[in-house]
Amino acid sequence: MDYNHKEIEKRWQEFWRENEVYKTHEDKDRKKFYVLDMFPYPSGAGLHVGHPLGYIASDIYSRFKRQQGFNVLHPMGYDAYGLPAEQYAIQTGQHPEKTTEENIARYRSQLDKIGFSFDWSREVRTCDPKYYKWTQWAFMQMFNSYYDRDLKKAQPISKLIKHFEEQGSVGINPACGKELHFTAEEWNNLSEKEKRERLMNYRIAYQGETMVNWCPQLGTVLANDEVSEGLSVRGGYPVEQKLMNQWCLRVSAYAPRLLDDLAKVEWSDSLKETQRNWIGRSEGAEMRFPVAGKDVELEIFTTRADTIFGVTFMVLAPESKYVEMLTTPEQSEAVKAYLEEVKHKTERERQIEKKVSGVFTGSYAVNPLTGKEIPIWVSDYVLAGYGTGAIMAVPAHDSRDYAFARHFDLPIVPLIEGADVSEESFDAKEGKMINSCGPKLDLNGLEVKDAIAKTKKFIEEEGLGKVKTNYRLRDAIFSRQRYWGEPFPVYYKDGVAYLMDESALPLLLPPVSSYLPTEDGQPPLGRAENWVTPEGYPIEVCTMPGFAGSSAYYLRYMDPHNDKELVSKEADEYWRNVDLYVGGAEHATGHLIYSRFWNKFLYDLGIVCEEEPFKKLVNQGMIQGRTNFVYRIKNTNTFVSHGLRKEYDTTPIRVDVNIVSNDILDTEAFRKWRPDYADAEFILEDGKYVCGYAVEKMSKSMFNVVNPDDIVEKYGADTLRLYEMFLGPVEQSKPWDTNGIDGVNRFLKKLWGLFEKAEKEPAKEMTKEERKAVHKLIKKITEDIENFSFNTSVAAFMIAVNELTSLKSTNREAMEVITRLIAPFAPHIAEEFWHRLGETGSVADAAWPVYDPKALVEDTVKYPVSFNGKTRFFIEAPSGAPKDEVEKLALADAAAEKWLAGKTPKKVIVVPGKIVNVVI
RNA sequence: GCAGAAAUGGUGGAAUGGUAGACACGAGGGACUUAAAAUCCCUUGGCCUUUAUCGGCUGUGUGGGUUCGAGUCCCACUUUCUGUACCA
C-alpha cells in the first residue's frame, strides 16, 4: 500500500483527541519540563507557513523530553487583545470579540492539522474574563506596592504609609518619580486627597504626568517599543510627544535586577545584549553647577567627569524646569519662540532633520573647578527624560556638543594629548589628560580612566555632587485610550484614583455603541452606559495595553482553571518556570522585559518561586517569502521568460507563487489569474516560462504567501514538519521555498516502503551493519535535538534510510527503533508504525532509544594520510593500534614512497582515530 | 554612530582545529513506459590532463598571523542582515 498521509493523519489525530494523549497532570514522581511557545495574536489573515516554525521546533523538543520520561507541560493559547480587531470593529461595527472568536477558530483548525502535542485543556485567552481577572488582580497588587531600594524588593504600600506617619520621608529609600522630603507631621497634616496624590509618587502601578508617545491617527499612547523611527509599529502613523496623565508601571525600579539577572538565564548573547542596551546602565556622577547671580544650582549628569575642565557651556532640555528659572528678561522673547518651534516639531521631524538648533538663556553657570562663567543654552538635542534634563557640554570630546559649539561659535578646549579637534570631536575614552589643572584638582598626565575615578572621588569629597548610576530603561506606560483591552479596576472619587474591591473582579469590559473616541475626546469606554461603581463613582475609561495580558500567561498555564488564585502554590512549585521558551527576537525589548519585570514583582510578593520566568530561550528566525516575477514587455500584454528579458524593455510584475512551480510559470493558470492577463502572450525559453525571484517579507501584497493548509493537503503534516526543520537552523531567518519539499516527501515514502517490507518479517537480530546504522542514528538524533539542530537530524534520517535500503534490510527491530526516533518529528507516521508493530498506547510515550557505543566500534580504522597537511591517500589500521604502529603502516604503504620522494620525514603526527600527518 | 550575528557550489545548507561541500533541491545523462506522471540509477565547486579510468592543480568575502595542519583560532579590512540611537 502506498503512503496515504491523509488517512494516517486523520486517524491518529482522532486517536490523540479521543484518548487525551497530550493532557498533562502534575505528577510529583516525575521530573517536570516546561516547553512554551510565544502565544500568537490571532490575526484575520490566518497562519502562513512561517508561523509554525517555532511551534514545530518546540513540539519536537517536548515530544523528545516526554519520551525521555519527563512530565512535559506544553500549552498553547491566544494573545487575543490587539489593535487590528479593534480597527476592524471601527470599520464594520462588529464587536471585536466576534472577530477574535472567528480568528481563533481558524487558527485552531490550522494548528490542529499540523499534529502538535499541545495540552489544549489548558488553553488561555487574554480576553477571557476568567483570564483577565488575574491581569487586573496583578495590577491591583502593583498599585498597592512600592519598591524599596534598600531591600531591593517590592513592599506593601501600607508599610510606606506607616513609615511616613511615624518618621516622614527620612530613613526609607523607596523608588519614586521625584525625591520628596517631608516630616511625619507634614504628612499627617495632609488631606486624604493629598496623601493619595503623594503616594502616586511611590506606587509600582502609578498615575503620572509623563511625556508619552501620542499617535493621533490611532488615538492612543504607545510604549517605546511600539514606536520605531518616530512611527507606530502597527500602522506606521506618525507619533508625537505629549504630556499626559497616564497609568504607568515602575519598571525602572527593577532596572538593576533586570540587568544583573541576565547572567542567570541561558539566552543568546545577542538577545542579552539587546536587553542590556535597552536597560542602558551608565555609571557617572551627578553634580551641581552654581548659577551666577542667582540662588539656583544646575544639576547635571555626566559619565565623563574627567572632562570638567573642558566644559565651555551648559545645555538644558526645552522641557526642563530650569528653563523658566534661568531665562533672563532680555532673552525671554527668543527662548519663548524657540520653545514654540520645538513643540510643533514631531519626534519624526526632529530625527529626520537632526538640525542643530538652540537659544541662549542669558544666564551663566560657574564651573566649580575653575570658577569660570559659562553660558547656559537651551536645545532639543538634550532630552528631558534622561538624567536631569541638563548637561555640561564638552565640545572637544562629544560629537553632539561639538556640532552645537561649531554652529553657535562657542569655544572648544581639547583635554586629551594629541587629540585633533579642528574637524571633529575626539570621543574615545583613551589618552593622557592635558589642560586639566585647577586650584584644587590636577588631572594632567593621567589616563582618562584614572582621571574619571579621581574626579568622581573629588566631587564626592568636596560635596559638589555624588556618584550615580543611571538607567535608560523608562517606566512602562500602561494606559491605552482604546476599547479592546482589560478595563482598570479603578474608580475616581474627588478626582483621585481608588482601587475597587477584589470581589469586583473580573471587571467586565462593557458593551459600547461605537468603538471610536467620544466627541469630547474620551476613549471609547466613555460611551459605555452605567460605567460607574454601585456608589456612582466613575470608572477609569482607559484600558490596559497588549503586554498586560501577555506578561504572566506562562504562570496561568500551570493552573488555568483556578478561580481563587493566579496560580496555586502547589502548581507553581511543581512547574516553577519555563525550561524552554521559543519565540521571535522582536520581543526582546517589549514582552521579554515586561514579563521579567512582572515575574520579579510576583516573586517579591511570594506568589511565584522563581525569579526568572524563562530559563532557556531560543529565537526562531523569520521565514521570509520567495516572490516570483514575470516580465511584461512595456506597453504590451506579452511576457518574456527570465533568461530572455534583457533583450526587451520590460517591467517586472509579482506573480502568485501558487501558480509557479520550480520557477516555471503555469501559463494557463496565469491567464485565469487576472482578467487583464486573459489573453497574455508568452515568449518562452526551451518551451517553458521561467520566472525570476526575490526574497521579501511574506505578505499578501507580494503574492508570496504559502498557506500551511495547502501543504498539509498535498503532502501531509509530517512532510511539512520535516521540511520546515530541514530548511535550515531554527534560529536563522531564511526564505520559504516550496521547491525543495519533494525531497522530504520522497524520504517519507521510502521510509514507508522500508517499513512495509520489515513489518512482514519475523523478529530477528540486527546484523552488525544494521546495528551500526541504527546506533549511529540514535547518537546523532539525541545530540541534535539537545542542540536544537533539527535540520541535520532530518538529514541523518535520510542517510539512515538510504543505508538500510542499500543493506536490503528488512529488520523489524531496526524499524522499531527508527519509529521511536522519528516520533517527535513525524508523529503521525510514527504512530501508524507503532500500532502496526503491535504496540499499544501512543508512540508519544515510547521510551527514547538507548545508544550503545559498542555498536559503532570497528575492527579497523581508516586513516587519511597527509603530507605537510594535505591528504594524499588512506590506510587502514587495527582499531586501538598504538601510534607508532599506525605510523609504521602509513610509511610502509606503497603510496607513501611517491610523496616522500626519497626524503626522510622530519616529523610524523598521529592523532588516534583521526589523521596521520607526515612533515617532510 | 554604537552593539550583535553572519559571509562556504546554480539554490537551501553540512563540517568536536584533522578527507571542505554531508543531506536536499535544481540541472544534465540514462533505465522503465506507446507517451506522460511516478519510480530507480549515474554525473554535478572550478580548472587541467586522459578515449575513459587513474591522476593533478585550485578552492570556504579580502589581507596578514598562530599551527605539522585553519571554513573553524587571533589581528585588520570589506560587505550583508538584525537591533538601537541626540541616553551626555
pLDDT (tens digit per residue) in A793-843: 999 999 999 999 988 888 999 999 999 999 999 999 999 999 999 999 999
pLDDT of the residue at A204: 97
CA dist., res. A398 & res. A416, Å (int)? 12
**Mean predicted confidence (pLDDT) in A115-127:** 97
- Decide: CB of A471 under 7 A of nucleic strand B: no
**Is A871's pLDDT higher than 90?**
no
User: 10 Å Cβ neighbour count for A450?
Assistant: 14
Give chain A residues 727-746 with Cβ within 7 A of strand B. Answer: 727-729, 732-735, 737, 739-740, 742-744, 746
- Decide: CB of A386 under 7 A of nucleic strand B: yes
pLDDT digits (tens, 9 = 90+) for A516-537: 888 887 899 999 999 999 999 9
Higher-scoring residue by pLDDT: A152, A227? A152
User: 10 Å Cβ neighbour count for A592?
Assistant: 25
Spatial CA neighbour of A226 closest among A594, A532, A571, A515: A594
pLDDT of the residue at A391: 93
pLDDT of the residue at A598: 97
pLDDT digits (tens, 9 = 90+) for A605-633: 999 999 999 999 999 988 888 888 888 99
**Is A743's pLDDT higher than 90?**
yes
CA→C1' distance for A882 and B17 (Å): 22
- Decide: CB of A228 under 7 A of nucleic strand B: yes
**Is A185's pLDDT higher than 90?**
yes
CA→C1' distance for A688 and B20 (Å): 36
In this complex, the nucleotide whose C1' atom is nearest to the CA atom of residue A307 is B88
Percent of chain A whose pLDDT exceeds 70: 99
pLDDT of the residue at A348: 59
pLDDT digits (tens, 9 = 90+) for A388-441: 889 999 998 888 899 899 999 999 998 888 777 888 888 878 788 888 888 888
Give chain A residues 3-42 with Cβ within 7 A of strand B. Answer: none
CA→C1' distance for A732 and B80 (Å): 14
- Decide: CB of A121 under 7 A of nucleic strand B: no
In this complex, the nucleotide whose C1' atom is nearest to the CA atom of residue A473 is B87
Share the mean pLDDT of chain A: 91
**Is A646's pLDDT higher than 80?**
no
Q: Write the CB contacts of A794 (distance below 8 Å, at least 6 apart in sequence).
A: A722, A725, A726, A744, A747, A825
User: Which cell numbers in the block locate residue A119?
Assistant: 495540552
Q: Identify, with chain letter, the residue nearest to nucleotide B86 (CA–C1').
A: A381
pLDDT of the residue at A687: 76
Q: Could you give the 3-state DSSP secondary structure of residue A365?
A: strand
**Is A718's pLDDT higher than 90?**
yes
Helices then strands, counting H and E runs in chain A, come out as 29, 33
pLDDT of the residue at A689: 86
DSSP state of A122: G
Mutual orientation of helices A52-67 and A717-726 as an angle, nearest 10°?
100
Q: Write the CB contacts of A472 (distance below 8 Å, at least 6 apart in sequence).
A: A278, A279, A280, A281, A282, A386
**For the ranges A243-252, A489-498, A552-561, which has the lowest average pLDDT?**
A243-252
**Is A354's pLDDT higher than 70?**
no
Q: How big is chain A by its Cα radius of gyration, in Å?
A: 34
- Decide: CB of A224 under 7 A of nucleic strand B: yes
pLDDT digits (tens, 9 = 90+) for A186-212: 999 999 999 999 999 999 999 988 877
Spatial CA neighbour of A643 closest among A629, A654, A657: A629
Spatial CA neighbour of A908 closest among A899, A918, A900, A898: A918
- Decide: CB of A472 under 7 A of nucleic strand B: yes
CA dist., res. A468 & res. A764, Å (int)? 75
Spatial CA neighbour of A84 closest among A107, A66, A103: A103
- Decide: CB of A440 under 7 A of nucleic strand B: no
Q: Would you place residue A353 in the very low, low, confident or very high pLDDT band (cuts 50, 70, 90)?
A: low
Give chain A residues 859-878 with Cβ within 7 A of strand B. Answer: 862, 864, 866, 868-869, 871-872, 874
CA→C1' distance for A646 and B44 (Å): 28
**Is A704's pLDDT higher than 80?**
yes
- Decide: CB of A591 under 7 A of nucleic strand B: no
CA→C1' distance for A64 and B63 (Å): 47
Nucleotides of chain B touched by protein CB (<7 A): 3-5, 11-16, 18-20, 22-27, 39-40, 56, 68-70, 81-88
- The answer to whether the beta carbons of residues A893 and A842 sit under 8 Å apart is no
CA→C1' distance for A647 and B35 (Å): 36
CA dist., res. A868 & res. A386, Å (int)? 61
- The answer to whether the beta carbons of residues A534 and A491 sit under 8 Å apart is no
Q: Would you place residue A350 in the very low, low, confident or very high pLDDT band (cuts 50, 70, 90)?
A: low
Q: Would you place residue A23 in the very low, low, confident or very high pLDDT band (cuts 50, 70, 90)?
A: very high
Q: Identify, with chain letter, the residue nearest to nucleotide B25 (CA–C1').
A: A740
- pTM attached to this predicted model: 0.92
- Decide: CB of A896 under 7 A of nucleic strand B: no
In this complex, the nucleotide whose C1' atom is nearest to the CA atom of residue A874 is B19
- Decide: CB of A589 under 7 A of nucleic strand B: yes
Percent of chain A whose pLDDT exceeds 90: 58
Higher-scoring residue by pLDDT: A543, A269? A543
**Is A122's pLDDT higher than 80?**
yes
- Decide: CB of A588 under 7 A of nucleic strand B: yes
What is this model's ipTM? Answer: 0.94
- Counting other chains too, the contacts that A327-332 makes at CB distance below 8 Å and 24 or more residues apart are A327/A361, A327/A362, A327/A363, A328/A361, A328/A362, A328/A363, A329/A362, A330/A362, A331/A359, A331/A360, A331/A361, A331/A362
